Structure 1
Amino acid sequence: MEYTLFTKLAAEFVGTALLMVFGNGSVANVELSKTKGHHAGWINIAMGYGFGVMFPVLMFGGVSGAHVNPAMTLAQAVNGMFPWSEVLPYIVAQLLGALAGQLIVYVTYLPHYASTTEPEAILATFCTTDAEDSRFNYFINEFFGTFILVLGALCALSDPWGAKNPAAASIVVGFIVWGLVTSMGGPTGPGLNPARDLMPRLLHAILPIEHKGTSRWKEAWIPVVAPIVGAIAGAWLFKLLFA
């Protein structure tokens, strides 16, 4: 079945919003004061992001491809796997979806934002930073993380077994994200998705949170540019060797 562009964009919007709810929601549960999951640990966050990708791909993979990530959309377009005419609408839908999803996280955790006094904990629920405060390390981590994510996702969804059973492939993609957060997430988070970092960072700057501190805009270009470059490289390698 061929869906209209509007339906595809709705899928990208809702899918990206769900990614934020599950992903950044899990961070809020761990980092903010007085939550029932306070200090639950990194595995809780990794699961949240894994499910945050798995469920949108299961729900909308057959509708829009469930990119839910501007880096994935651009990578496929650059490598001739996605029409350029749909790139801008997809990215706008993803950005707005990330904004909506982060607003849901903020509203549902509002009392806990009010009771949290550590700026780093608050910022972590919105966007990424580098643990060593190294921009070079920040870029390298986001580049390779997104490279592996895009290569793995395209292989899983396009290989004969994945094309035959897209639900199983979607679950594998979720586990790829889960694995990446547990293995490569220590330095930066990770982001692996420009929409997942940029729009929540914008909200962090705007929302009236008492102890939020700085939004760290001087490094905000890194989790936007590095995932895009990494995704393009991952899609290129997939097309070169496995498509």
Structure 2
Amino acid sequence: MNSNLTMQLMGEFFGTIILVLLGDGVCAGVNLKKSKAEGSGWVAISFGWGFAVTFGVFCVSWLCPGHFNPAVSLGMAIANKLPWSSVLPYIVAQIAGGFIGGILVWLTYYPHWAKTTDKGGILGSFATEPAIRSYGWNFFTEMIATFVLVYGLLGLTNIKLAPGLNPLLAGFLITAICLSLGGPTGIAINPARDLGPRLAHQFMPIANKGDSDWSYSWVPVFGPFLGGTLAALLFNLLS
């Protein structure tokens, strides 16, 4: 592995940790009992995730492109903006970062899990769950939302922006997607953001947790991959 790729993978790993720590951190703050943010609602979560993306990218911008998302990395490769040889290593680094980020959320809110009896709220502090379980429609929601994400990010690559503006706009895009499209599924739009913390939920001794809902876990993985692929194909067609 060349040193340049090694640095990129370190950036994707650490950036995804920051993304999940801040993003799932706001979910935990809203969901868990005795938290000062308890009950703040979906608007707080949406802005929390947007800020998490922005500052995650700023934290590692000199190391890597700041994807933190396997669906984005796949889309960038299809659009010839990332070497195909980097895709699988990026995905592994991102999922590993999501796992560590999930563990850090658990430790940050450690006393609050024992005070919380809502197993769904506990799982929702790590991974996504649908508001109405309908696998086909949940899959469609994740697909279309990730399509918007990846196409929007690809669009930003075609615009000459002032230095440092791209991460801010990416955060705005995430917030817009959460606010507009997040209601049905809690919106993953990122396999690493869902799978990594879901694994942390599975393996960590979290007080009062229920099961990790693996029957749903394929939706926030394959829906985003398909949405990102379609976005990149359309981008190529129109470019």
Q: TM-score if structure 2 supplies the norm length?
A: 0.94
> Which residue in 2 is equivalent to 1:9?
9
Q: Displacement, 1:127?
A: 0.7
Alpha-carbon separation, structure 2, partners of 1:239 and 1:75: 10
List alignment gaps of at least 5 residues for structure 2.
Answer: none
> Which residue in 1 is equivalent to 2:145?
145
Alpha-carbon separation, structure 2, partners of 1:143 and 1:102: 24
Q: Displacement, 1:20?
A: 0.2
Alpha-carbon separation, structure 1, partners of 2:237 and 2:52: 29
Deviates more, 1:101-110 or 1:52-61: 52-61
> Which residue in 1 is equivalent to 2:225?
228
| Residue identity in the other structure for 2:153 | A
Distance 1:166 1:232, change over 3 A: farther
> Which residue in 2 is equivalent to 1:208?
205
Task: Decide whether the 8 Å contact of 2:30 with 2:37 is kept in 1.
Answer: yes
> Which residue in 1 is equivalent to 2:128?
128
Aligned with 2:192 (options 192, 195, 206): 195
Task: Decide whether the 8 Å contact of 1:76 with 1:232 is kept in 2.
Answer: no
Q: Displacement, 1:207?
A: 1.8
Q: Is residue 238 of structure 1 aligned with residue 235 of structure 2? A: yes
Deviates more, 1:181-190 or 1:70-79: 70-79
Please give the secondary structure, in 1, of the residue aligned with 2:187.
coil
> Which residue in 2 is equivalent to 1:167?
164
> Which residue in 2 is equivalent to 1:57?
57
Deviates more, 1:147-156 or 1:207-216: 207-216
Please give the secondary structure, in 2, of the residue aligned with 1:115.
coil
Task: Decide whether the 8 Å contact of 2:17 with 2:101 is kept in 1.
Answer: yes
Task: Decide whether the 8 Å contact of 1:123 with 1:212 is kept in 2.
Answer: yes
1:8-62 CA distances to partner (integer Å, 9 max, x unpaired)? 1111011111110111000000000000100011111011100111112334345
Alpha-carbon separation, structure 2, partners of 1:78 and 1:155: 14
1:161-220 CA distances to partner (integer Å, 9 max, x unpaired)? 23xx24112211100001111111111111000011111111212222232112111121
Aligned with 1:183 (options 180, 184, 190): 180
| Residue identity in the other structure for 1:177 | I
Alpha-carbon separation, structure 2, partners of 1:58 and 1:155: 20
Task: Decide whether the 8 Å contact of 1:129 with 1:138 is kept in 2.
Answer: no
Alpha-carbon separation, structure 2, partners of 1:45 and 1:73: 24
RMSD: 1.6
Please give the secondary structure, in 2, of the residue aligned with 1:33.
coil
Please give the secondary structure, in 1, of the residue aligned with 2:215.
helix
> Which residue in 1 is equivalent to 2:43?
43
List alignment gaps of at least 5 residues for structure 1.
Answer: none
| Residue identity in the other structure for 1:28 | A
Task: Decide whether the 8 Å contact of 1:142 with 1:230 is kept in 2.
Answer: yes
